[in-house]
A and B are shown apart, each in its own frame.
Chain A
């Protein structure tokens, strides 16, 4: 197996793609203000609906429903583990860092201290056609947080 493929599909990604932490979508009663976002990648039909609860400036809960490739589903699962309980502003910062890595065409290696398991997606940035897959859940989270604040 060539290294390119294994860099892209690290074991942690394959595991999360199956485990799908945060799926299915839940109601999130009593966790504060709840925002929701639906994102679709028209190229391949990948789809996600994500809900985030925000209370006292912190992300209290995340859940989602999705259909898509291993990269997009694993990304949603990793994100769920990463952001729950964190201050909202910090989460926005994480989304920005993740996006920066994804857009770097392999030039920026993710900081594992900051992004945790999401650092495993660094390899995706070398495959421009797959960046959108990795970003889908993060964009949904960003929009959900905006909606929760509205």
Chain B
């Protein structure tokens, strides 16, 4: 582990990120100075989970050392302190995505956020939540729409919801170039559609989807929208109000935060009408032996003792990103992403998935190596200290659509250097010769 002196305080700046500044940023991330298999770690798997800066690690530790207490329960000083820190973190994360504080619900991760909405809709379909929740109710004849590029987290909860309610699940297909077939979207999003759930950016293709157009199609038929922002909130400026979506989910561990914490944004008016999913302590006003009244959002959806230290650490992560500047991070990753896509495309036998460099995409690239299975590609790279993701990346239907079972994915973040991308490209060029696939 490198010696970390005082954490570098980044001054917000409009200047583009450079390799020199990225090297300064790297000093904030202890793990980036470690070695793997005797080689300096080249971490190109931030799309799966990102690394943590010292400020995030310290926030979590400091909470346990100085403020640990249950929040929103009890009135001793420590509990008040803990509650303040917890709610400050909520405010920081809400601000980070342009939400009101009462519109940001803590979840374990994006998966839980999506399931929360799906189960709440399920409850509404059973009549829970009364008249106000009718708009969330589904039944035979109703439709939920997703896309063919979804992560399993934004597919299976809807399959299950459809199965429970008798609604049908339809999808917007993916074109060969890794973009959504928007001309089909208009046909799939019919007046029977109650919800359109789709990803902002694909974790496999890197495609940034045209949110405004899809939201418009949904709104035209009166359907709700849920945006899976797992791969956008960490990498580009996101403003929930500008996007005009009804619900949005993301995971803390992909944006420099710890595991075990994520968030669901929902428009206040919707969250306050949505019946709860998990029930129990801390989410009620009056309870009798027969029934209970529920608090408004966000507490309504936060039953039981919460992930306090993780929420506080995620607040620190959001502040770190905001101080660095999301526009700058977006621009830096765009450069790295284009370098990845062009570099990979220039290697014989490599097929890069998703849109060409220069089209809207985030800083990752998934690819197929002719004659070499992704698992072997990953093993070869690991031997050189390069961490990438291999497999179907929790998107089996998308891989099937592309005629593949597994691919290799390199994903960058604000701490990735140009040299790392180049070292990765050099290593990929050796893969087919090593496995004898170039003949």
Contact = CB atoms under 8 A, between A and B. Distances in A.
B435 A45 contact: no
Interface string A38-70: 000001111100000000000000000001111
Given A44-B391, A68-B375, 10 more contacts: A2-B38, A4-B37, A9-B435, A18-B436, A44-B406, A45-B396, A46-B375, A71-B376, A127-B379, A133-B375
B195 interface: no
24 contacts: A2-B37, A2-B383, A4-B37, A5-B379, A9-B379, A9-B434, A14-B435, A18-B436, A45-B391, A45-B399, A45-B405, A45-B406, A46-B373, A46-B375, A67-B405, A68-B373, A68-B375, A69-B373, A69-B374, A70-B435, A71-B375, A73-B373, A127-B379, A130-B375
A5 B392 CA distance: 23
Q: Interface majority SS on B: helix, strand, loop or mixed?
A: mixed
Contacts of A14: 435-436
A140 interface: no
Contacts of B390: 44
Nearest to A47: B405
Nearest to B437: A18
Interface size class of A (residues with CB under 8 A): 20 to 34
Contacts of A46: 373, 375
Contact of A69 (B375, B399, B436): B375
A141 interface: no
A14 B396 CA distance: 27
A8 interface: yes
Contacts, number: 54
A22 B361 CA distance: 43
Contacts of B392: 44-45
A112 to B, nearest CB: 23
Interface string B398-439: 010000011000000000000000000000000000111000
| Highest count of chain A CB atoms <10 Å: which of B373, B399, B406 | B373
Nearest to A3: B383
Nearest to A70: B376
Given A2-B38, A45-B391, A69 B405 contact: no
Contacts of A9: 376, 379, 434-435
Which of B379, B383, B399, B405 gathers the greatest number of chain A CB atoms within 10 Å?
A: B379
Contacts of A5: 379-380, 383
Contacts of B375: 44, 46, 68-69, 71, 130, 133
Interface string B346-387: 000000000000000000000000001111100110010000
Contact of A8 (B373, B379, B436): B379
Interface of B: 37-38, 372-376, 379-380, 383, 390-392, 396, 399, 405-406, 434-436
Nearest to A17: B435
A68 to B, nearest CB: 6
A73 to B, nearest CB: 8
Contacts of B380: 5
A93 B89 CA distance: 59
A69 B391 CA distance: 11
A70 B372 CA distance: 8
Residue among A17, A18, A45, A70 with most chain B CB within 10 A: A45
Nearest to A8: B379
Nearest to B377: A69
A139 B289 CA distance: 54
| Candidate in B38, B375, B434 with the most chain A CB atoms within 10 angstroms | B375
Contact of A70 (B373, B383, B396, B406): B373
Contact of A4 (B374, B383, B399): B383
Contacts of A130: 375, 379
A17 B376 CA distance: 11
9 A-B pairs closest in CB distance:
A69-B375, A69-B373, A45-B405, A5-B383, A45-B406, A44-B391, A70-B376, A69-B376, A44-B375
Contacts of B373: 44, 46, 68-70, 73
A17 B390 CA distance: 19
A131 to B, nearest CB: 12
Contacts of B374: 44, 69
A82 B436 CA distance: 24
Nearest to B383: A5
B61 to A, nearest CB: 31
Nearest to B372: A70
A126 to B, nearest CB: 12
Nearest to B396: A45
B37 to A, nearest CB: 7
Contacts of A69: 373-376
A43 B435 contact: no
A5 B37 CA distance: 10
Interface string A6-42: 0011000010011000000000000000000000000
